[in-house]
Structure 1
Amino acid sequence: MTTDKLTIIPPGHPLTGRVSPPGSKSITNRVLLLAGLAKGTSRLTGALKSDDTRYMADALRAMGVTVDEPDDTTFVVTSSGELTQPEAPLFLGNAGTATRFLTAALALGKGRYVVDGDEHMRKRPIKPLVDALNALGVKADAPTGCPPVTIDATGQFASHRVVIDAGLSSQYVSALLMVGACASDPFEIELAGAEIGARGYVDLTLSAMRAFGATVTQPTSASWRIAPTGYTAADYHIEPDASAATYLWAAEVLTGGAIDIGTATADFTQPDAKSQAYMAQFPNMPAEIDGSQMQDAIPTLAVLAAFNRTPVRFVGIENLRVKECDRIRALSTGLNNIRDGLATEEGDDLVIASDPDLAGQTLPADIDTFADHRIAMSFALAGLKIAGITILDPGCVAKTYPAYWNALASLGVEYAGTDGGTL
């Protein structure tokens, strides 16, 4: 996508057809790292090829891992099981999974490593993970509490037990879990308090670890014990991305269509699949939705809620303020650009003043995506029912769903570009 803005033309008919979502970003970046830490050759099929996963793959290559790409959905990873010191800092764009997972994994190397990202990643907190690494005897430093992070690694931990504050992100726990299997002794992780953002993503991590030979037990709901097994190369098939599927599920119910994504909702293991149950209730979604365990689906649900019959309050979403952008602010800003008063921020809650009569209106609005793929993709849904919705920086979807605009077009959606012509 080369245009700097894209106006959605409401199709005026139900969207029907088949679209296959890309592979799961969350799973792809987990298994890429695990394959890089395993001795031997792993074949990862059904993988996502996007900005986020390319940052991870390129970082592994920079540290001596061979990562081949025989086709559009496969990575073949060959590794000695060690990550050598790269010649330059690892630049990871705004890929949160790659940044957090590698920050922990680099403790297994030897020498100085620097993990950095773009201007957006440099605003995303990583201090709890850095503090945990220091408690394990790893010298790690992030002066701003966000990337860049410098790790001086010796290849071992001075301690094998750590307490981590995972209130901001479950990725901190996942990062430590994955490196724990490579320690010299049994490795224990305990939560500081019971709060953890999107616990379901920890379950994804555990499933991937076990597929590569790890042994993990959970003595309590807030602690894990990882045996020092290391990892063994494996072949792994990655399921479709549930977060990407949310846009197609929402487009289906919003237009009264029938979109076959090739995977039953019940077959997804990712937390965002839980959002489909709320979409199935549209236009009678509940008055309150707790988004704590399906955070990446909230932008989709919030835009869909604008067309609901009754108002919807989203709670448990405070972590959205430290995603690729402040998603609560981005959602309220975009919705209020469509119609003033459509969204209200009440603390960290987001309240949508739903109105089914928005459908069919012409309400010209430029949607600032804040370079956030999920803001771009979710607000495209508003353009299916409202004329005049223009997405700024539509190319940002390349972060996780490069073919998104083509996918909607395959269902009959048309666009107007910067020249006003149909694309």
Structure 2
Amino acid sequence: MTDLPAAFAITPAKHPLVGRVTPPGSKSITNRALLLAALAEGTSRLSGALKSKDTDLMARALRQMGVTVEEPDETSFVVTSSGRLQVPAAPLMLGNAGTATRFLTAAVATVDGEVVVDGDEHMRKRPIAPLVDALSKAGVDITSPSGCPPVTVRGTGSFASGRIEIDGGLSSQYVSALLMAAPLAGEAVEVALTGNDIGARGYVDLTLAAMRQFGAQVEEVAGGAWRVSPTGYRATDFQIEPDASAATYLWGAEVLTGGAIDIGVPAEAFTQPDAAAYAMLQQFPNMPAVIDGSQMQDAVPTLAVVAAFNNQPVRFVGIANLRVKECDRVSAIANELSRIQPGLCTEEGDDLVIASDPRLAETLANRNHRVRIETYADHRIAMAFALAGLRIPGIIILDPACAGKTYPGYWKMLQELGVRLEPAEPAPAEVG
């Protein structure tokens, strides 16, 4: 669906959703692979890749720095590089793509010259100070006056050597950014956490696995430190697995409608951390009373919406980092669930408490008003709250196009499963 309306009204599913759906490729892995291929000398073919706003922004930035990125089909990139990034003619504008922004902030330290890494108004509110501080202490000439993008990096043509310490408590992307740039240093680099906390550790494991496929030598020397050899990277062909975060919407739709959606990949085959949500969803309508979302952060919106229909309340803990995603997802989830029914979700500190109601759909079935779900330009809020519309009448999703950040075909997929979507007014019509 290329031209989406300003809002979609969702008609509750009258039958179980049944079918076969192929989720898009993993955004997390695609953006890692694009960068690693750009840092490798030669030509790499990336198969099963995600084509979305976030990956398009990464590809554009790499092209600005002299890398050839071709797209022979809907799920492939062919990347040809000298192994070194060149000075771009203009700032790298990365929208609200957190992975691209964080990863490139470290990678452009290998450029011989000045690079500005910037984003849209949303990205300019997302913190990057821990990564900037770590690079600065390692000797990189880098500035970020606001602690958020834009970031200006004046590189010297190679990455900093020695020990680089990083506070990864706010985001594991800071750690991954340093690790991926490290093989381009002149000597070995040790990347070490300054504390025990790290965002989602599973994403660091994704980074390490991708680096090794491109020829990097990395070893964990302690519980929170990695030694990276100065090997550079070699071009390779790389297969990208489907996106586990996208799969959570399909798993959620399946359990909410009593359906059977075959995504072609068993949950246990995923290497991405969000696949852990499958086990939680399979327990519906008796999901656990407490769910730790720290290691499956992008799955929390899906889990929270499904939990609204659970047999008992659910508390989500370990989710403070959701406040610095594309929006403050903790507040967004609480606000929009309570828009559906007052008090359905509350914030307690950084926890979310869902006042689950197994009769929620029945209770709201006969009402005549519509609920317009504010999506905050956040793809995960839009896609997760669409699931509520599978059971509750009157749900309207505002700005559905924001789903294109990671899942451009999401709304078409729902329609192909039999979900009825109709264009709706984004705001109530004025009377007078």
Task: Establish whether TM, by shorter chain, passes 0.5.
Answer: yes
TM normalised by structure 1 equals 0.98
Partner of 2:429: none
Aligned-CA RMSD value: 1.0
Conserved 8 A contact 1:28-1:48: yes
Partner of 1:409: 415
Counterpart of 1:89 (choices 63, 88, 91) is: 91
Moved more, 318-327 or 7-16: 7-16
Partner of 1:369: 375
Counterpart of 1:224 (choices 223, 226, 244) is: 226
TM normalised by structure 2 equals 0.96
1:419 and 1:251 mapped to 2: Cα distance? 25
Note the alpha carbon deviations across 1:371-418, whole angstroms, 9 max, x for none: 000000000000000000000000000000000001111110011213
Residue 419 of structure 1 and its aligned partner are, at CA, apart by 6.4
Partner of 2:153: 151
1:21 and 1:267 mapped to 2: Cα distance? 14
Residue 47 of structure 1 and its aligned partner are, at CA, apart by 0.1
Partner of 1:172: 174
- After TM superposition, the structure 1 = structure 2 runs for residues 11-410 of structure 1, keeping only pairs within 5 Å, are 11-157=13-159, 159-360=161-362, 361-362=364-365, 364-410=370-416
Conserved 8 A contact 2:7-2:425: no
Read off the aligned partner of 1:204 and give its amino acid letter.
L
User: Cα 1:259–1:157, aligned 2, differ >3 Å: closer, same or farther?
Assistant: closer
Read off the aligned partner of 1:124 and give its amino acid letter.
R
Note the alpha carbon deviations across 1:94-151, whole angstroms, 9 max, x for none: 0000000000000001111000001110010000000011111111111000000000
Read off the aligned partner of 1:390 and give its amino acid letter.
I
Conserved 8 A contact 1:135-1:159: no
1:342 and 1:35 mapped to 2: Cα distance? 46
Residue 260 of structure 1 and its aligned partner are, at CA, apart by 0.2
Residue 12 of structure 1 and its aligned partner are, at CA, apart by 1.2
> Identity, % of aligned pairs?
67
Read off the aligned partner of 1:147 and give its amino acid letter.
P
1:388 and 1:259 mapped to 2: Cα distance? 24
User: Cα 1:176–1:12, aligned 2, differ >3 Å: closer, same or farther?
Assistant: same
2:95 and 2:158 mapped to 1: Cα distance? 28
Instruction: Count the aligned residue pairs.
Output: 420
Read off the aligned partner of 1:275 and give its amino acid letter.
A
Read off the aligned partner of 1:112 and give its amino acid letter.
E
Residue 2 of structure 1 and its aligned partner are, at CA, apart by 2.5
2:248 and 2:308 mapped to 1: Cα distance? 16
Note the alpha carbon deviations across 1:273-313, whole angstroms, 9 max, x for none: 00000000000001000000000000000000000000000
1:158 and 1:90 mapped to 2: Cα distance? 22
Note the alpha carbon deviations across 1:145-194, whole angstroms, 9 max, x for none: 00000001112345421110000000000000001111110100110111
Moved more, 158-167 or 38-47: 158-167
1:221 and 1:389 mapped to 2: Cα distance? 46
Conserved 8 A contact 1:376-1:394: yes
1:270 and 1:241 mapped to 2: Cα distance? 8
Structure 1 gaps of 5+ residues are none
1:160 and 1:147 mapped to 2: Cα distance? 26
Conserved 8 A contact 1:46-1:239: yes
Read off the aligned partner of 2:390 and give its amino acid letter.
L
1:22 and 1:413 mapped to 2: Cα distance? 19
1:41 and 1:327 mapped to 2: Cα distance? 39
2:160 and 2:392 mapped to 1: Cα distance? 58
Partner of 1:5: 7
Note the alpha carbon deviations across 1:179-214, whole angstroms, 9 max, x for none: 111111010011011100000000000000000000
1:190 and 1:419 mapped to 2: Cα distance? 51
2:160 and 2:216 mapped to 1: Cα distance? 21
Read off the aligned partner of 2:145 and give its amino acid letter.
P
